[in-house]
Amino acid sequence: MGRVTSRRRVVRVVDGVPGARPDTLTVEEPLEIRVGGKPLTITMRTPGHDFDLAAGFLVGEGVSRSSKDIHSIRYCAGATADGSNTYNVLDVVLADGVDPPDASLERNFYTTSSCGLCGKASLDAVRTTVTWPVDGDDLAITPSTVSGLPDRLRAAQRVFDRTGGLHAAGLFSASGELLCLREDVGRHNAVDKVVGWAARDGRLPLTGTVLMVSGRASFELVQKAVMAGIPLLAAVSAPSSLAVDLAAELGLTLVGFLRGASMNVYSRPDRLGLA
């Protein structure tokens, strides 16, 4: 497996005075995901929990709906000219009877760590069929519990403390218990790793849970939450207009600008007892 962090020599300037020191950086490497030996996408990610990332990605695309849909995931040996294993290429073998990804989902580009939607042909390509509608989820959570999630997320970010360069996604219960946390240089990858953990552990759909992310709330993160059956997505930063529209359309509670005791609730405030 690749390393999560890397050391580099830097020149640090304090009050105009330069000095040499080592710095710890977040590792970013490409991961190619293949399905049945056929390349599907390449994403720039932080190594670690790669099997979860692949499984979560397939859930978000509507390819996989449970742990039974995936027969196996393995790193591809011989990924380089000399036959060595880079641990940067995964092959997912779907279970018998599971349809392979639609050809329209195949990426002819790499997915950057900042945006998983770049290069999509159209919004229609990502409006996949929802397996577990969340509009009827009866999640009830207090605003005070939601307010406490950012601090709990931050307290569990071990690699961020060393690098300051990672996004985090945390899955919480309605009582605020942290169920799973994943870090990655890409916020969509962090969410895929959480969803993939749940998928491989047979926990889907994630009824009655909350997904907390350390950055902004994009259209894609709303989609990923809904595809996993998560009824509430909270972010410390702003949502996009399209994220709000999709959340309202599908019945997801979307919380943004979650900082301290303040927050903006953009859709389904009833789950927080606010409507």
The residues annotated with a catalytic role in the active site are: 115
What is the DSSP pairing of strand 253-259 with strand 232-235?
A: parallel
Q: Angle, nearest 10°, between helix axes 241-250 and 219-227?
A: 20
Cα(151)–Cα(137) distance, integer angstroms: 26
Q: Please say whether the beta carbons of 4 and 26 come within 8 A.
A: yes
DSSP states of 211-229:
EEESS-B-HHHHHHHHHTT
Structure tokens at 25: 């950086």
With a CB cutoff of 8 Å and minimum separation 6, the contacts of 28 are: 44, 45, 46, 113, 185
Structure tokens at 171: 């899955």
